[in-house]
Amino acid sequence: MKPIDLRSDTVTRPGPEMRRVMAQAEVGDDVFGDDPTVNSLEELASAMLGKEAGLFLPSGTQSNLCALLTHCGRGDEYIVGQQAHTYIYEGGGGAALGGIQPQPLDLETDGTLDLGKVEKLVKPDDFHFARTRLLCLENTTNGRVLPRDYGEQARAFVDRHGLRLHLDGARIFNAAVKSGQSAAGIAAPFDTVSICLSKGLGAPVGSILTGGADFIHEARRWRKVVGGGMRQSGLLAAAGIYALENHLERLADDHANAARLAAGLAAFEGCEIDPGTVQTNMIYVGFPPDRLETFIAHLADNGILVYHSNPLRLVTHLDVSSEDVDRFLSVVAGFLAA
Ligand SMILES: *Cc1c(COP(=O)(O)O)cnc(C)c1O
Sign, CA dihedral 206-243-43-40, equals positive
The whole-number pLDDT of residue 276 equals: 94
Q: How far is the CA of 72 from the centre of ligand 1 (A)?
A: 20
Closest residue by Cα to residue 309 from 285, 334, 335: 285
Please count the other Cβ atoms lying within 10 Å of the Cβ belonging to residue 268: 17
Mean pLDDT of 165-193: 98
The whole-number pLDDT of residue 257 equals: 98
Residue 294, preceding bond cis, omega within 30 degrees? no
For ligand 1, pick from 85, 141, 142, 208 the residue to mutate: most ligand atoms within 8 Å of CB: 85
Instruction: Name the pLDDT band for 182 (thresholds 50, 70, 90).
Output: very high
The whole-number pLDDT of residue 337 equals: 87
Query: Crossing angle of helices 172-179/251-266, nearest 10°?
Result: 80
Q: How do residues 49-68 score in pLDDT, each as one tens digit? A: 999 999 999 999 999 999 99
- Asked whether 213 and 53 are in contact (CB, 8 A), the reply is yes
Q: How far is the CA of 170 from the centre of ligand 1 (A)?
A: 6
Residue 109 has pLDDT above 90, yes or no: yes
Closest residue by Cα to residue 239 from 31, 54, 3, 56: 56
Residue 1 has pLDDT above 90, yes or no: no
12 to each of 9, 36, 201, 308, 316, how far by Cα in Å? 6, 26, 9, 19, 10
Phi-psi region of 73 (alpha: psi -120 to 50; beta: other; left: phi over 0): beta
Question: Ligand 1 in contact with 9 (CB < 6 A)?
Answer: no
Altogether, the residues listed in the chain come to a count of 338
- The Cα–Cα gap between 63 and 239 comes to 18
pTM of the model: 0.97
Q: How do residues 244-302 score in pLDDT, each as one tens digit? A: 999 999 999 999 999 999 999 999 988 999 999 999 999 999 998 999 999 999 999 99
H or E segment to which residue 65 belongs: helix 60-71
What are the backbone dihedrals phi and psi of residue 6, each rounded to the nearest 5 degrees, phi first? -105, 15
List residues bridging with 105 in a β-sheet: 81
- The Cα–Cα gap between 232 and 31 comes to 9
- The Cα–Cα gap between 275 and 322 comes to 17
Q: Compute CA 200 distance to the chain's CA centroid, rounded to the nearest angstrom.
A: 9
Q: Helix, strand or coil for residue 49? A: coil
Please count the other Cβ atoms lying within 10 Å of the Cβ belonging to residue 326: 14
For ligand 1, pick from 196, 208, 315 the residue to mutate: most ligand atoms within 8 Å of CB: 196
Q: How do residues 114-132 score in pLDDT, each as one tens digit? A: 999 999 999 999 999 999 9
Report the amino acid identity of residue 259.
A
Sign, CA dihedral 67-71-72-73, equals positive
Atom of ligand 1 nearest to the CA of 138: 13
Mean pLDDT of 29-38: 97
Q: How do residues 201-218 score in pLDDT, each as one tens digit? A: 999 999 999 999 999 999
By percentage, how much of the chain surpasses pLDDT 90? 97
Q: Whose CA is nearest to atom 9 of ligand 1?
A: 60
Instruction: Name the pLDDT band for 45 (thresholds 50, 70, 90).
Output: very high
Q: How far is the CA of 136 from the centre of ligand 1 (A)?
A: 14
- Asked whether 254 and 320 are in contact (CB, 8 A), the reply is yes
Mean pLDDT for the chain overall: 97
Residue 109, preceding bond cis, omega within 30 degrees? no
Q: How far is the CA of 192 from the centre of ligand 1 (A)?
A: 16
Q: How do residues 8-25 score in pLDDT, each as one tens digit? A: 999 999 999 999 999 999
266 to each of 2, 59, 175, 283, 330, how far by Cα in Å? 25, 35, 24, 11, 13
